Structures are given as structure tokens and as C-alpha cells.
Amino acid sequence: QVQLVESGGGLVQAGGSLRLSCAASGRTFSRYAMGWFRQAPGQQREFVAAIAWRGGTTYYTDSVKGRFTISRDNAKSTVYLQMNSLKPEDTAVYYCADQYHSGSYYRPDEYAYWGQGTQVTVSS
């Protein structure tokens, strides 16, 4: 089993920054990738960013490219999401997720474990 704990959400004005963290514990030795997703009220959960655990290749949805950066600390089994130039439309609950097989980085059903989510609210 794997446990994921997110932190770093909060309320910020448009144009501001937040850094989300997701610490993993448990049997993480065969991890393939980690990702961040978000879900706004009344909307489906959507892909935000992912990072391949071994090579470190990163992937982003178009709406956050150039503003968000995903990174990892292998030793701490932690993934980060640095969010800059935040916009009101970034408001959502953000979830980190863990993937343990070769699959699509963009599909939530390819991830086996999920954190509890952290709220990000961007005011205009």
C-alpha cells in the first residue's frame, strides 16, 4: 500500500504563487510516475502535470504550461507542484497520484493511489 499526503494549498490573489507538496510512504520502490490532477466544483477531474519517476521527463496540460512546474525528490519520495501566475480558473481541489505501471500519464484511471486533496483558491 502507498499513502500520499498533500500540503501547501490555500488562498492567493491572482498573479500569486503557491507550492504544493505530496509525500509518499509505503511500498514505493516500483513507482513509474507521479501526477497532479485537479477538480473544480461540478467538473470532472482533470490532468495538470506528471513526472516520470526514473528519467524525470515532465508533462503538462496546455493551460498551465509556462506557469506550473512539477519536480520530484527521489530520496524523500516527494513530488512538488510550483504554481506561478495563478489565475481564478486555477481554483480547484488538487490531488496527487501515484502510478505503478507503464500507462498514460493523462488519464486518472491509470493511477493506483491518490492523496486526499488540497484546496487552492485564487481570488480575482
Task: Give the pLDDT confidence of 7-35 residue by residue, as tens digits.
Answer: 999 999 999 999 999 999 887 777 889 99
Q: What is the pLDDT of residues 33-83, one digit of tens each?
A: 999 999 999 999 999 999 998 889 999 999 999 999 999 998 888 999 999
- Distance CA(108)–CA(56), nearest Å, equals 19
Strand 46-52 to strand 113-114: parallel, antiparallel, or no bridges (unpaired)? unpaired
